Chain A
Amino acid sequence: MSRAEQIEEIAARWIVRRESPDWSAKDEAELTTWLNQSLGHKAAFWRLRQGWAAADRVGALGFSPTRFGSRLAQPWPAWRKAAPGIGLALAASLALVVGIGTVMLSTSEPPAPAQVAVQTPVGIQRTIALADGSRVELNTATSVRAATGPNGREIWLDKGEAYFDIVHRPDRPFVVHAGSRTVTVLGTRFTVRRDGEKVTVAVLSGRVRVEDGTAESGTRAAVIGQGDIAYAQARGILVALAAPTRVTAMTGWRDGVLVFDNQRLADAVADFNRYTDRPIRISDPAVANIRIGGTFQIRNSAAFLDLLRSAYGLEVRAGRDEILVAPEGGTAEDEGQQPAPRSGS
């Protein structure tokens, strides 16, 4: 628990005690002592007292106890609109392309359940809430389809990246398909990123099973838990155990940031380019191999380019369709020849 949470917890306990009939003058004196210890205590206590009093309005709602739990009884793939992801501009959310209710036929699994498809364009993130309380956050340029059927809850990640916060239902397994890979959820929060046939799964809590459907024996599977990352590539599944820092870095996009830790500049640039139609290109292989670290806002690639300019002495030239990063002084020779093959994307 953080420091603020501890103070809040204590303040809330004071409020509970103060509402009880046996609250005494001695109690009041103790509370005053606690409040006078710090203005931080007062801030927490006043805030909760105000909020809790405002919550008296629940009395006006007239809800009945029988309604409890009714949310779980709704049919599953009733997609509801959820609050847009943190840091999304309002304008951005208006630009969303959302295909709700698109029905597609699955070729592989008869009888085909009705599917719901959701896409996000480049640079846009979106959160969708499922009727069972689960939540899916889509990153830039992502498309998913979802369906419920005899096999339980299923999502197809056709491209891009998504974060899953899944309510565990033993009777309704939750399966994410990413190409030939399937991720079976055992009640958890995790992200899946798909770059073509390369699939990366990072687990924030709980456990998931990652299976490779292309393996002939069908035995290529790995169960990974909190802080682990599975990299599924053409040659099989690679698992990085206990890499919590890396997992946190991989989910930075949910807060609108990209986190790099000693990564090749080419890879960092490739990450930035996922969010824009005006990509950054690197003109020189030596530059591509520069190691870089730090936290950057996705929407503020200018700060990233400034760092390249000021700290690494690179030249940044902004063109109409792309931004070129070159070694300093390399301008003259670069202009006469084709840029060196870029790497990373």
Chain B
Amino acid sequence: MIDDAQLERWFCDEVLPLEASLTRYLRRNWRASEQIMDIRQDIYEAALTGGRQGLPGNTAGFVFTIARNILINRSKRERIVQFEQFADMESVEQAVDLSATDRHLDARDALRRAQEGIERLPPRCREVVRLRKIEGLSTREAAARMGVGIDTIERQLVLGIRAMTDAMLGGSGKIQRRAAAGTSKVRRR
């Protein structure tokens, strides 16, 4: 049995760097784009469940095999006509190859992702992230600085954490809930 600290280190060092190629693989093989996040979440949960019994030697092969099985089970459940899609092991191999490059991101790539991620944030969210990450302000201090309520800052930070994580892992960095970013100018002090 693998303990949590080991499991987390493996998950962060070996599994998460595959996220960009894993997401590409899912998008190629699954038509309903709004389900991709749920599927990916299922894959991560299954990977942790398996990893807890013993860490695999080939993490990429392990993760993409889980992905393929989950897609097959889902498509059976939804009775969708998608012939031959998953039988195509070649595409799995390709995805695994691609992942090798993802794993060796250099510092410049990470910086580029950070830059693109922050530029895609809505202005208010970007300012909150900047105050937190660059000036190191606490939620309370950021609220005072921007003249808004603490809950507004917290809401923007939640959006910022989600979007920046997506960006740093090679995703589009898009925020799903635009509505929350628009709740502005409440409780000006």
Question: Which of A's residues lie within 8 Å of B, judged by CB?
Answer: 1-5, 7-9, 12-13, 15-16, 19-21, 38-40, 42-44, 46-48, 50-52, 54-61, 63, 65, 68-69, 71, 83, 86-87, 252, 255-257, 259, 293-297, 300, 302-303, 306-307
Known contacts A2-B38, A4-B41: does B168 contact A54 (CB below 8 Å)?
yes
Tell me the bound Cα distance from A39 to B47 in angstroms: 9
> Which of chain B's residues have a CB closer than 8 A to the CB of A87?
24, 27-28
Tell me the bound Cα distance from A4 to B36 in angstroms: 9
User: Which chain B residue lies CB-closest to A48?
Assistant: B165
Tell me the bound Cα distance from A16 to B138 in angstroms: 10
Q: Are B165 and A1 in contact (CB under 8 A)?
A: no
Within 8 A of A (CB), among B117-165: 117-119, 123, 126-127, 129-130, 132-134, 138-140, 154, 157-158, 161-162, 164-165
Contact of B123 among A46, A52, A68 (CB under 8 A): A68
Q: Looking at the assembled complex, report how far the CB atom of B177 sits from the nearest CB atom of chain A, in whole angstroms.
A: 7
Q: Looking at the assembled complex, report how far the CB atom of A50 sits from the nearest CB atom of chain B, in whole angstroms.
A: 4
Q: Are A38 and B45 in contact (CB under 8 A)?
A: yes
Contact of B37 among A2, A43, A55 (CB under 8 A): A2
Tell me the bound Cα distance from A29 to B82 in angstroms: 46
Q: Are B165 and A16 in contact (CB under 8 A)?
A: no
Q: Are A59 and B177 in contact (CB under 8 A)?
A: no
User: Which chain A residue lies CB-closest to B154?
Assistant: A16
Tell me the bound Cα distance from A252 to B82 in angstroms: 14
> Which of chain B's residues have a CB closer than 8 A to the CB of A7?
41
Contact of A13 among B44, B158, B164 (CB under 8 A): B158
Mark contacts of B45-83 with chain A using CB atoms, 8 A cut-off: 1 yes-contact digit, 0 otherwise.
101110010000000000000000000000000001111
Tell me the bound Cα distance from A295 to B74 in angstroms: 14
> Which of chain A's residues have a CB closer than 8 A to the CB of B172?
83
> Which of chain B's residues have a CB closer than 8 A to the CB of A259?
31
User: Which chain A residue lies CB-closest to B38?
Assistant: A4
Q: Say which size band chain B's interface belongs to.
A: 35 or more
Q: Are B40 and A4 in contact (CB under 8 A)?
A: yes
Known contacts A3-B41, A47-B44, A58-B134: does B49 contact A303 (CB below 8 Å)?
no
Q: Are A300 and B84 in contact (CB under 8 A)?
A: yes
Q: Looking at the assembled complex, report how far the CB atom of B76 sits from the nearest CB atom of chain A, in whole angstroms.
A: 14
Is residue B34 contacting chain A, with contact meaning CB distance below 8 A? yes
Q: Are A58 and B114 in contact (CB under 8 A)?
A: yes
Q: Looking at the assembled complex, report how far the CB atom of B164 sits from the nearest CB atom of chain A, in whole angstroms.
A: 4
> Which of chain A's residues have a CB closer than 8 A to the CB of B42?
40
Question: Which of B's residues lie within 8 Å of A, judged by CB?
Answer: 4, 7-8, 11-12, 16, 24, 27-28, 31, 33-35, 37-38, 40-42, 44-45, 47-49, 52, 80-85, 110-111, 114-115, 117-119, 123, 126-127, 129-130, 132-134, 138-140, 154, 157-158, 161-162, 164-169, 172, 176-177
> Which of chain B's residues have a CB closer than 8 A to the CB of A13?
154, 158
Q: Which 4 A-B pairs have the closest CB atoms?
A: A51-B165, A294-B81, A4-B41, A43-B44
Q: Looking at the assembled complex, report how far the CB atom of A334 sits from the nearest CB atom of chain B, in whole angstroms.
A: 26
Q: Are A68 and B126 in contact (CB under 8 A)?
A: yes
Q: Are B168 and A303 in contact (CB under 8 A)?
A: no
Q: Are B83 and A303 in contact (CB under 8 A)?
A: yes
Q: Looking at the assembled complex, report how far the CB atom of B121 sits from the nearest CB atom of chain A, in whole angstroms.
A: 10
Q: Are A20 and B177 in contact (CB under 8 A)?
A: no
Q: Looking at the assembled complex, report how far the CB atom of A44 sits from the nearest CB atom of chain B, in whole angstroms.
A: 7
> Which of chain A's residues have a CB closer than 8 A to the CB of B45?
38-40, 43
Contact of B80 among A38, A65, A295 (CB under 8 A): A295
Q: Are B35 and A58 in contact (CB under 8 A)?
A: no
Q: A293-B81, A302-B84 are in contact. List 6 more A-B contacts (CB 8 A).
A: A4-B38, A8-B41, A12-B157, A19-B139, A50-B165, A295-B82
